[in-house]
Amino acid sequence: MFMKKAISFFCASIWKKSWPLWIGAVGLALTNIFMFAYARAIGVFPQMAMWGSWLYYLMGLSVDAPFTQYPRTPLYLDMHSMINFGLILGVAIAALLSREFKVRTEDWRGCGMAVAGGILMGFGTVIMPPCNVGGFYSATMALSLSGPVAVLGLIPGAYLGGLLLKRQVAEAAEDIDFDALPEGKPAVKKPLSHQPVIGLLISVLLATIALLYTYYGKSKFAGLLLFGALFGIIFQRSRLCFCSAFREILVSRNGTVMKWILLSIAIGTCGFSILKSHGYQPMHFVLPVGLHTVVGGFIFGIGMVIAGGCGVGILWRSAEGYVRAWIALIAGMLVSAAWVPLYGGHVGEGKLYGKPFSLGERFGWINGTLIVLLFLVAFYVFIVWVEAKKK
């Protein structure tokens, strides 16, 4: 009896309702600190760019992957790709256990938006670099100046993308006249399938893959796969979406999601600073910073909104069955992977890019941390100011 109640409580509280945003914010920060301490912080687009270089290779074209730290490697032997695979599996498990998986098709205009979004994100990720979660969330935690600077591009870019989406729905709503609607029958409840069973089977698959990697002496791979899955479950259940966080600040004048992300970054910053101040990977996720950070962020910001998700977002939505995310993923992979032949160099090389700037290395770890926390407070005040202007 007790077990039955406990199981039913577990199912209802974890899989039936979405989690509060604060759980997502704190959960993501702690997972990112622990994953950094284990190996590295979260960031997903450079791996996807490397996957794109594989697609070219399979088409008979040999191009260098754009990020030098992520050279073309068989995917099952690439440690960094494990985070992406884990995230996809984690989201799929959470979505299936919650009965939220569905293949969501698009018409030709939706497919066009996906391609455009993927192309813009592909260019944005190599110019910024890298993506929203890596270039803003992890970079700011890592005391990289590029994190706060990226915001200057991401906010206006996401706003522009959001206006485009708003215009599309306004056009669709124009045709609706409730007095002249044809009569019809209400939607009927469909029988629910065995999605939770499939979710459990994928959990077993995830555990099996992790065990196999451990057995073959690659426990780091297994660890990152499981960390990725944990990220996926937290993202899917808390619906803490970085794309909507940036978009809604100006479009709806609602910064609720971003405020929780700022708290998440504050927690993460303290954790990262402690580790880095002890000499652990001090330059990890300290990225080139310059005008390109703002321009790349702007391009990426538009792209992520019209594609329906940033780098993490399209991986997440692809595992929930969004065809728009599948298309954006492939477009983003192919465009970012074409960067070396297009630009003539790798990401971070040449005149386009500034130098990496660590606030911790430059001003000391305590001062650097205080500067980042001050930035987070300033961002929070900006959001409150924008919200106050809402009519």
Partner 1 sequence: MRKLDARKITDKHYQVDMRGWMCPYPKYIIESLVSKLTSGSRMDMLVDCPAATDDVPKVAQALGCSIAGSDQIGNGEWKIAIIKGTSKNSFF
The residue within the footprint of partner 1, chosen from 4, 5, 189, 351 (CB under 8 A), is: 189
Interaction between residue 324 and partner 1 (CB under 8 A): yes
Q: Which lies closer to partner 1 via its Cβ, residue 78 or residue 320?
A: 320
Q: Which of residues 37-76 bind partner 1 (CB under 8 A)?
A: none
Provide the angle, in degrees to the nearest 10, between the axes of the packed helices 256-277 and 242-251.
Answer: 130
Interaction between residue 253 and partner 1 (CB under 8 A): no
The residue within the footprint of partner 1, chosen from 57, 73, 110, 361 (CB under 8 A), is: 110
Q: How far is the CB of 322 from partner 1 (least distance, A)?
A: 6
Interaction between residue 204 and partner 1 (CB under 8 A): no
Interaction between residue 151 and partner 1 (CB under 8 A): no
Interaction between residue 388 and partner 1 (CB under 8 A): no
Cβ atoms of 190 and 336 closer than 8 Å = no
Q: Which lies closer to partner 1 via its Cβ, residue 366 or residue 384?
A: 384
Q: How far is the CB of 320 from partner 1 (least distance, A)?
A: 8
Interaction between residue 391 and partner 1 (CB under 8 A): no
Q: From 72-80, 125-133, 244-252, 262-270, give the range in contact with partner 1 by CB under 8 A.
A: 244-252
Q: From 4-12, 240-248, 296-304, 336-344, give the range in contact with partner 1 by CB under 8 A.
A: 240-248
The residue within the footprint of partner 1, chosen from 3, 58, 77, 169 (CB under 8 A), is: 169
- x/- track of binding to partner 1 for residues 7-26 (CB under 8 A): -----------x--------
3-state secondary structure of 299: helix
Q: From 140-148, 175-183, 221-229, 343-351, give the range in contact with partner 1 by CB under 8 A.
A: 175-183
**Within 10 A of 361 (CB to CB), how many other CB atoms are there?**
15
Cβ atoms of 31 and 275 closer than 8 Å = no
Q: Which lies closer to partner 1 via its Cβ, residue 3 or residue 169?
A: 169
Residue type, 340: V
Q: Which lies closer to partner 1 via its Cβ, residue 18 or residue 203?
A: 18
Under 8 Å CB-to-CB from 364, ≥6 apart: which residues? Answer: none
- x/- track of binding to partner 1 for residues 85-104 (CB under 8 A): ----------x--xxxxx-x
Q: How far is the CB of 365 from partner 1 (least distance, A)?
A: 38
The residue within the footprint of partner 1, chosen from 8, 69, 193, 208 (CB under 8 A), is: 193
Task: Give dist(CA 327, CA 325) in Å, integer.
Answer: 5
Closest CA to 314 of 329, 303, 332: 329
Cβ atoms of 270 and 370 closer than 8 Å = no
Task: Give dist(CA 269, CA 275) in Å, integer.
Answer: 10
Task: Give dist(CA 254, CA 240) in Å, integer.
Answer: 14
Burial 272-301 (b: 16+ CB within 10 A, else e): bbebbbeeebbebbbbbbbebbbbbbbbbb
Burial 46-66 (b: 16+ CB within 10 A, else e): bbbbbbbbbebeeeeeebbbb
Cβ atoms of 127 and 299 closer than 8 Å = yes
Closest CA to 106 of 58, 190, 168: 168
Q: How far is the CB of 251 from partner 1 (least distance, A)?
A: 8
Q: From 116-124, 146-154, 168-176, 221-229, give the range in contact with partner 1 by CB under 8 A.
A: 168-176
Both tokens of residue 292?
Answer: 């390109």
Interaction between residue 322 and partner 1 (CB under 8 A): yes
Task: Give dist(CA 299, CA 303) in Å, integer.
Answer: 6
Task: Give dist(CA 110, CA 101) in Å, integer.
Answer: 19
Binding residues for partner 1, rule: CB under 8 A, are 18, 95, 98-102, 104-107, 109-110, 162, 165-166, 168-178, 181-190, 192-193, 195, 239, 241, 244, 247-248, 308, 317, 320-322, 324
